Homo-oligomer: A and B are copies of this chain.
């Protein structure tokens, strides 16, 4: 069996987003147990000029849906960025996973040599070959924001570990 671009894209994004959703469940339980307003967690930043948790989750889902959609050659859905609660962020993660599941794996498998053009901020655009776009833009960017969300919650005292970050990966423990 040859290595498949759809397998490098779809399950990786789904597992990562679902893992973040499970981490948000733990964050909600943590806030309730400690009698912390969940919005304190959602507004926490690791540096004054870094994005807070809410925005990290929004960007992770944007990069995942936009990346997977462009690799599949379809228009990504637009989200409104109005989430203010953990429940709403979990709904956004679930909506993104559901969208990713609708994509055609065969289209993504045919993408390695297709030139992909994508917005970089409000005015610039980037262009990359499909396989480069996956390997050097979509995956590092998605994992960056998944890790940032995780690290903000660790910084707040949430007891989570690497297994929570990796999520339901197909690994056998020996």
Residues of A within 8 A of B (CB): 1-5, 7-8, 11-12, 15-16, 46-47, 49-50, 109, 112-113, 117, 120, 124-129, 131-132, 134-137, 139-141, 143-144, 146-148, 150-151, 154-155, 157, 162, 165-166, 169-174
With contact pairs A8-B131, A46-B46 given, residues A170 and B136 touching in the complex (Cβ less than 8 Å): yes
Q: Which residues of B contact A113 (CB under 8 A)?
A: 1
Cα distance A146–B151 in the bound complex, in angstroms:
12
Query: Closest approach, in angstroms, between the C-beta of A44 and any C-beta of chain B?
Result: 11
Q: Report 13 cross-chain contacts, Cβ distance below 8 Å, ordered by A residue.
A: A1-B113, A2-B112, A8-B135, A11-B136, A15-B136, A16-B140, A47-B151, A128-B169, A128-B171, A137-B171, A141-B162, A148-B151, A151-B151
- Known contacts A140-B165, A174-B117; A3 and B129 CB within 8 A of each other: no
Q: Which residue of B lies closest to A172 (CB)?
A: B127
> Known contacts A7-B131, A172-B128; is A46 also within 8 Å of B1 by CB?
no
Contact between A128 and B3, CB atoms less than 8 A apart: no
User: Do A136 and B169 form a contact, CB below 8 Å, given A144-B162, A151-B151?
Assistant: yes
Additional A-B contact list (9), CB under 8 Å, known A4-B131, A126-B172, A136-B169: A3-B112, A16-B140, A47-B155, A125-B173, A127-B173, A136-B170, A140-B146, A143-B144, A144-B147
3 smallest CB-CB distances across A and B, nearest first, come from A143-B143, A147-B147, A136-B169
**Taking each of A140, A155, A169, A170, which has the highest tally of chain B beta carbons within 10 Å of its own beta carbon?**
A140
